[in-house]
A and B are shown apart, each in its own frame.
Chain A
Amino acid sequence: MTIATSRRGFLGATSGLMIALALPLKGRAQDAPPQGAEQAVPPALAPAPVPPNAFVHIAPDDTVTVIVKHIEFGQGPLTGLATLVAEELDADWAQVRGALAHADDTLYANLAFGMQGTGGSTALGNSFLQMRGAGAAMRQMLVETAAEAWGVPAAEITVAKGRITHPSGKESGFGAFAEAAAQRPVPDNPTLKTSDQWVLIGTDLPKLDTASKTDGTAMFTLDQFPEGAQVVVIERPTSFGATVASYDDAEAAKVAGVRAIRPLPQGVAVYADNTFAALKARKALKVEWDLSAAETRTSQQIMAEASAAAREAGRTVEETGDLSGFDAPGATVIEAEYQFPYLAHAPMETLDGVVTLAEGSAEASYGCQFPGIDRAALAKTLGLPMESVRVNVLLAGGSFGRRAQGTAHFATELAEVAKAGGPGSYKLMWTREDDIRGGYYRPLSVHRMRGAIDAEGRITAWENVIANQSIMAGTAMEAMMKDGLDSSSYEGSIGLPYDFGGFRAAWRQLKTGVPVLWWRSVGSTHTALATEMFVDELLEAAGKDPVQGRLDLLKPDAARERAVIEAVRDLAGWTGKVQGDKGYGMAFAKSFGTYVAQIVELENRDGRPQVTRAWCAVDCGIPVNPNIIRAQMEGGIGFGLGAILHSQITLGENGAVQESNYDDYPSLRIHEMPQVEVTIIKSDADPTGVGEPGVPPIGPAVANAWRALTGQKTRALPMLQNPGVV
């Protein structure tokens, strides 16, 4: 996801701030020089002046709790942001804890968005200076307090590993001075360490959430049991946009433990004393659906429409040089059409939420990526002022984009549940079937590619027309679209590091009634595949090696791209040849400012690709926690691999989703996971994210290796459900 404009207008000015804490403005992630429009994030709001105690609490027992403004669902911000604070505070890692911030767009804005939000792999980058500034300010306040108490000059005091010391022998932990320090004025411009002074940044600090996630004590949304809470499940339409025509709840109402059955805009809701009663009663409901406003086309029909649209000129989103190479005498023109299905995110924890409605106020607790947007939706639906609605952000069992809802559809549903139920507490749960069939998919997409190779084997022209549905249009995010263009639909297909001579990329917007959403790495889930599969095919047609051929294509200023491609080549010991029964393929993709190149090794096992090894080189600027970076590359590889091998959502008769659970929407399993080796490029550039960028290259690397081994070209995904692969 890329955010194209300031969100100040949408949310209203962020005023009424507390103590001013000026932070250096330079070097935020979003200030990186744009390389292609998809990376051209204009400077966001100046960081809202936020007091350090919004981010750091120090307890009398010396425990330092860092309040983390981004949701943690495995990608590591809890540890990452705590590291930044602890570094400047000179805390000992053993005394550091992390806690997730509640919804507050003023205090906890993502500086790349201008509102609170987790997405676009921005957590670490947008926080890099802000969190260090908070730590440094807090450290200075502690030092000044100690200096006053001890009657010594502040300059003589040193802080290390959580201890404040003076050469006279005076020594203290943080806790003893915390309360007094909090009363002091917040320093305007705390001095940040230089990189050679870092002791925590750049090290494999153990993650703060590992222990509780290993012994089962970590608390997620579904683990909340407010006093007297009713469990709610909703019988949902079988087609997107269908509404309840009529329902018969006679049998359902007889189920022991059922408290109420109520129609909602989203379907028919069952309120019960426990989960099983709710599920049992839902099964006994008989609902007739009105399909008059529903999307009833099949996905095959929508794909055919997308395919036809991609043969039109489309709207140009980037054009450089001229496309005369297609018509030059002696040119070889190669065409390919790549088809990408709808994909569900299918995080292990389905959507769920807990809400308590009282007279004149409400409190919701769950895992959400845009807490401010959700809070506004809750307030609006419940008819309450924003100040009377609190949203607590909880750990979530995965998301992959599913909880980043510009439509706030889940928050709205949670509010409808409470509104219809009246004062009380409710736990709303989606089942896996609700999740797989519930829409908000990665958009179905078609790429129509053309490439020209001249008689000397040079690529001289490249054209890519992309047809898909906009994620932002029709949502609160629409304000971020510029001139009707949703860059998340084609990011990753433009601003390429390769010099193709003439270049044109175009977008043709589709409209369907299927709700769509960002899916881990967003546009690059399909653009990286189309681009890197097609580059590989063109290089093969030109008689060039996939790795050297890419290096030769790089523009002169593509130094970071060159470095990761060379690094992965060396890590894998690339030869460019099939070896015995093993094929090799490579791909490169830059997404969210992070550069990743991958090589895979695979075998043909009874007509199916079995990926045995994967090598990965990543440049994400300063590596704050290499262990988390490696974990995200490993996980990104597995997540992307599962999708390109197995995943597709298909709509059948009347637009009904055919898949329902992990049996017919398979996930990668352990026996399909390759060995992974990751190398991290040394860098002093501002850090960028790693949650998503590991995903884009794996698909094309696998498809390219499969083509190298078997000669079969991948034209439609998933690989295991299409011709060419058994």
Chain B
Amino acid sequence: MTTLTINGAERTLDVDPDTPLLWVLRDELRLTGTKFGCGVAQCGACTVMLNGMPRRACVTPIRTLAGADVTTIEGMSGREYDAVQAAWRALDVPQCGWCQSGQVMSATMLLQQLPAPTDQQIDEAMAGNICRCATYHRIRTAIHDAARTLEG
């Protein structure tokens, strides 16, 4: 049994303690916005916010999360998130869409830390998120656009 907070609600989960957070979110809680891409923290499709920082849910066993505060894309809010959502839509960033929850999570947390990132800071913060459709060009532009709206 592990008790933690997910998207603001306290949850007690009776699952195999080795179960990665990813499969708890998806199979137990049906929070399907968090995606499976690799299972080994290489692609970032499962990025969630753990105690305010980005975390790969696929390599995070539930037993390590007692008392933790987890936010998935379903529970995101705030100015940075809203700015990212608006910028993503204005530029039609997604193609297949599978990785985009993770991209949006990483971009939001980047802007929470660095309100006006440079190209290089964007590349460093987003390098853990693979997009096989290679929407990177628009991701970079969208993050700059979101940063500009946060300024004003």
A275-B98 in contact given A211-B89, A256-B16, A670-B129 (Cβ < 8 Å): no
- Type the 1/0 row for B9-24, where 1 means its CB is closer than 8 Å to any CB of A: 0000001101110010
A675 / chain B contacts, CB cutoff of 8 Å: 137
Q: Which residue of B lies closest to A274 (CB)?
A: B27
Q: Which residue of B lies closest to A273 (CB)?
A: B27
A265 to chain B, nearest CB (A): 25
A348-B73 in contact given A661-B40, A667-B130 (Cβ < 8 Å): no
Q: Which residue of A lies closest to B73 (CB)?
A: A216
- Type the 1/0 row for B53-95, where 1 means its CB is closer than 8 Å to any CB of A: 0000000000000000000111000000000010011001111
A209-B94 in contact given A219-B32, A432-B37, A661-B42 (Cβ < 8 Å): yes
A209 to chain B, nearest CB (A): 7
Taking A215-B85, A274-B19, A663-B42 as known contacts, 13 extra A-B pairs with beta carbons closer than 8 A to each other, sorted by chain A number, are: A209-B94, A214-B104, A215-B73, A275-B26, A346-B132, A348-B37, A397-B97, A631-B95, A631-B135, A634-B137, A638-B133, A662-B43, A671-B123
B137 / chain A contacts, CB cutoff of 8 Å: 634, 638, 673-676
Is residue A398 contacting chain B, with contact meaning CB distance below 8 A?
yes
A398-B93 in contact given A214-B85, A276-B20, A432-B37 (Cβ < 8 Å): no
Contact between A398 and B96, CB atoms less than 8 A apart? yes
B89 to chain A, nearest CB (A): 6
A 192-240 contacts with B by CB, 8 A: 206-207, 209-220, 222-223, 225, 231
Listed by A's residue number, 19 A-B pairs whose Cβ atoms lie within 8 Å are A206-B92, A210-B94, A214-B94, A215-B73, A217-B33, A218-B97, A256-B16, A274-B28, A276-B23, A347-B132, A348-B130, A349-B35, A398-B95, A432-B40, A631-B95, A661-B40, A670-B136, A671-B124, A673-B136
A214-B130 in contact given A280-B16, A635-B135 (Cβ < 8 Å): no
A 593-651 contacts with B by CB, 8 A: 627-628, 631, 634-639, 641-642
Contact between A670 and B123, CB atoms less than 8 A apart? yes
Contact between A74 and B96, CB atoms less than 8 A apart? yes
- B residues lining the A interface (CB < 8 Å): 15-16, 18-20, 23, 26-28, 30, 32-40, 42-43, 45, 72-74, 85, 88-89, 92-101, 104, 122-124, 126-127, 129-140
A222-B32 in contact given A280-B18, A398-B98 (Cβ < 8 Å): yes
A432-B38 in contact given A216-B74, A676-B137 (Cβ < 8 Å): yes
B28 / chain A contacts, CB cutoff of 8 Å: 274
A400 / chain B contacts, CB cutoff of 8 Å: 132
With A and B bound together, what is the CA distance between A280 and B19 in angstroms?
9
A 331-356 contacts with B by CB, 8 A: 346-350
- A residues lining the B interface (CB < 8 Å): 73-76, 206-207, 209-220, 222-223, 225, 231, 256-257, 274-277, 280, 346-350, 395-400, 429, 431-433, 627-628, 631, 634-639, 641-642, 661-663, 667-671, 673-676
A660 to chain B, nearest CB (A): 9
Q: Which residue of A lies closest to B20 (CB)?
A: A276
Contact between B133 and A398, CB atoms less than 8 A apart? yes
A276 / chain B contacts, CB cutoff of 8 Å: 15-16, 18-20, 23, 27
Contact between B134 and A639, CB atoms less than 8 A apart? yes
B88 to chain A, nearest CB (A): 4
With A and B bound together, what is the CA distance between A277 and B27 in angstroms?
11
With A and B bound together, what is the CA distance between A590 and B34 in angstroms?
38
Contact between A214 and B88, CB atoms less than 8 A apart? yes
With A and B bound together, what is the CA distance between A253 and B67 in angstroms?
32
B97 / chain A contacts, CB cutoff of 8 Å: 74, 209, 212-213, 218, 220, 395, 397
B126 / chain A contacts, CB cutoff of 8 Å: 670
Contact between A210 and B136, CB atoms less than 8 A apart? no
Picked from A257, A639, A662, the residue with its CB within 8 Å of the CB of B133 is A639
A667-B132 in contact given A206-B89, A432-B38, A662-B43 (Cβ < 8 Å): yes
A347 / chain B contacts, CB cutoff of 8 Å: 96, 98, 132
Contact between B16 and A214, CB atoms less than 8 A apart? no
A257 / chain B contacts, CB cutoff of 8 Å: 16
With A and B bound together, what is the CA distance between A661 and B45 in angstroms?
14
With A and B bound together, what is the CA distance between A636 and B35 in angstroms?
23
Contact between A635 and B130, CB atoms less than 8 A apart? no
A431-B39 in contact given A74-B133, A214-B104 (Cβ < 8 Å): yes
Picked from B16, B20, B35, B94, the residue with its CB within 8 Å of the CB of A277 is B16
With A and B bound together, what is the CA distance between A193 and B123 in angstroms?
46
Contact between A210 and B96, CB atoms less than 8 A apart? no
Q: Which residue of A lies closest to B101 (CB)?
A: A216
A610 to chain B, nearest CB (A): 11
A673 / chain B contacts, CB cutoff of 8 Å: 134, 136-137, 140
Contact between B98 and A663, CB atoms less than 8 A apart? no
Q: Which of B101, B104, B130, B137 has the most CB of A within 10 A?
A: B137
Q: Which residue of B lies closest to A400 (CB)?
A: B132
Q: Which of B32, B94, B96, B124 has the most CB of A within 10 A?
A: B96
With A and B bound together, what is the CA distance between A75 and B129 in angstroms?
20
Contact between B94 and A670, CB atoms less than 8 A apart? no
A207 / chain B contacts, CB cutoff of 8 Å: 92, 94
A238 to chain B, nearest CB (A): 19
With A and B bound together, what is the CA distance between A209 and B88 in angstroms?
12
Q: Which residue of B lies closest to A633 (CB)?
A: B137
Q: Which residue of B lies closest to A257 (CB)?
A: B16
Contact between B92 and A631, CB atoms less than 8 A apart? yes
With A and B bound together, what is the CA distance between A234 and B63 in angstroms?
27
State the 3 A-B residue pairs at the shortest beta-carbon distance, nearest first.
A638-B134, A216-B33, A397-B98
B101 / chain A contacts, CB cutoff of 8 Å: 216
B28 to chain A, nearest CB (A): 8
Contact between B74 and A639, CB atoms less than 8 A apart? no
With A and B bound together, what is the CA distance between A214 and B96 in angstroms?
11
A670-B127 in contact given A75-B95, A631-B92 (Cβ < 8 Å): yes
A209 / chain B contacts, CB cutoff of 8 Å: 94, 97
B83 to chain A, nearest CB (A): 12
B67 to chain A, nearest CB (A): 22
Contact between A348 and B92, CB atoms less than 8 A apart? no
Contact between A220 and B23, CB atoms less than 8 A apart? no
With A and B bound together, what is the CA distance between A637 and B99 in angstroms?
18
A354 to chain B, nearest CB (A): 13
With A and B bound together, what is the CA distance between A400 and B132 in angstroms?
9
